[in-house]
Structure 1
Amino acid sequence: VPFGQYTRDIIGKYQDDGNEGYVDAFMKNVVSEVDAVDKIKPVLVLGEADGSIVYKSDISKADRKDITLIEIPDKYNVIASYPYGILKANADKDAVKAFEAFLTGDKGTAVLKEYGFDVA
């Protein structure tokens, strides 16, 4: 799962910033690693874990009554990107153009931001 690697990259950056031994100390406190990011949120909501590194977009506004988000400083963070693709063989070119216009327009970016995605 790329997310596990992102987490290791984040804690590695923190260690490289003068925090010797941080990776080992962090990993000693890991009690579980999941094979899919969507399995983390229920564990947090039920109070079965003290915390986790998660995608901000996976924690809804409703979840935030039970989960406090703490932003990772930019110099340590790893930004996951989600490109969109358009198939060349798509038969409905007008629908594709309309969808792309929506995604990149004000309404589409507002929806993405509402669900926790940072839009470039």
Structure 2
Amino acid sequence: MLGRRRRVLMAAGIGMLTACGESASTGSVAGRSDATPASTPEPRELVLLVASSLTDAFTEMGDDFPRQAGAAGVKLTFNFGASSLLRTQLEQGAPADVFVSADTIQMDQAVKAGLLDGTPQVFVRNRLVVVLPRENRAGVLTLADLAKPGLKVVTTPRDVPVGNYTRQALEKMAADGQFGVGLDQRVLANVVSEEANVRQVVTKVQLGEADAGVVYASDVTPRVAPEVRVIDIPDRFNTVAEYPIGVTKQTKAPATARRFVEYVRGPAGQAILKKHNFIPLA
């Protein structure tokens, strides 16, 4: 009888231990989440480093993009400036989700520095024109007049895209017999200041602080046009500027950044760029 009772008690104890073990195990599973945690939503803001010649067009896009499907509530914050300066800022750790350059040189350097995610894409083109103050007191009538002694010309440093394009155009003119040998050097000898970006070149000419400057066709905006005269640069001398756009590796909103790139290259973005005198993608 005693032996039987001992066996019953032992069985009961084992059962209790088993139950406790199952309870502890169950508690451990309950305390540990095996489910995949929900992904953190992307920030609803993009910071963009954008070439200054795109100021008006991208400002308009800043209002239009949030109206697109899937982009409701997205805020775009722009930092406009010379492409070379923006690329340097990106290299130094400036926060940005998207980099937009006015030439492939600065974008290629950003790619080599490992700053971009994926391959940048050209999204628009531009061409050069000469702008003069409306009064045109210096009497500039032709491209050859840019070499007149004493003329005050403004441009940008060569590492700024428009400054590089300007020098390329002048070199093409200098190689043409109608302008005479050394036209490029004679024009550059007239440069009285090198501005930080193309918008500052436009401002100098508008204010009459310079007699001429080479800028993009898109810089002759409806606001600027009444205050300047324009001399076209024929295609054989002109340099077509290609603008690439890329998503940075540091972005915390990669899907939204890529959606913006698609928007810029799509019908809505291209329509805005065309409206601002850029040459849209074919």
TM-score, normalisation: structure 2: 0.38
Q: Report if aligned partners of 2:247, 2:254 keep a CA contact under 8 Å in 1.
A: no
Point out where structure 2 has 5 or more consecutive residues left out of the alignment: 1-159
Alpha-carbon distance in 1 for matches of 2:168, 2:236 = 11
Kindly state the Cα deviation for residue 113 of structure 1 after the two structures are TM-superposed: 1.4
Alpha-carbon distance in 1 for matches of 2:164, 2:250 = 34
SS in 2 for 1:65: helix
Q: Do structure 1's residue 62 and structure 2's residue 223 form an aligned pair?
A: yes
Kindly state the Cα deviation for residue 89 of structure 1 after the two structures are TM-superposed: 7.5
Kindly state the Cα deviation for residue 78 of structure 1 after the two structures are TM-superposed: 1.4
The number of residue pairs the alignment matches comes to 120
Q: Percent identity between the aligned chains?
A: 35
Alpha-carbon distance in 1 for matches of 2:185, 2:248 = 44
Query: Normalized per residue, which structure has more strand?
Result: 2
Kindly state the Cα deviation for residue 69 of structure 1 after the two structures are TM-superposed: 2.6
Q: Which residue in the other structure is 1:100 paired with?
A: 261
Q: Which amino acid aligns with 1:11?
A: L
SS in 2 for 1:112: helix
Q: Which amino acid aligns with 2:164?
A: Q
Kindly state the Cα deviation for residue 85 of structure 1 after the two structures are TM-superposed: 1.4
Query: Normalized per residue, which structure has more helix?
Result: 1
SS in 2 for 1:54: strand
- Match for 1:81 among 219, 233, 242? 242
Q: Which amino acid aligns with 1:21?
A: G
SS in 1 for 2:236: coil
SS in 2 for 1:11: helix
SS in 2 for 1:43: helix
SS in 2 for 1:68: strand
Q: Deviations over 1:75-114 (max 9, x none)?
A: 1111222111135776656534542342222221110112
Point out where structure 1 has 5 or more consecutive residues left out of the alignment: none
Q: Do structure 1's residue 119 and structure 2's residue 250 form an aligned pair?
A: no
* Structure of higher CA gyration radius: 2
- Aligned-residue Cα RMSD (Å) equals 2.3
Q: Deviations over 1:27-58 (max 9, x none)?
A: 23222222322211221111121110012222
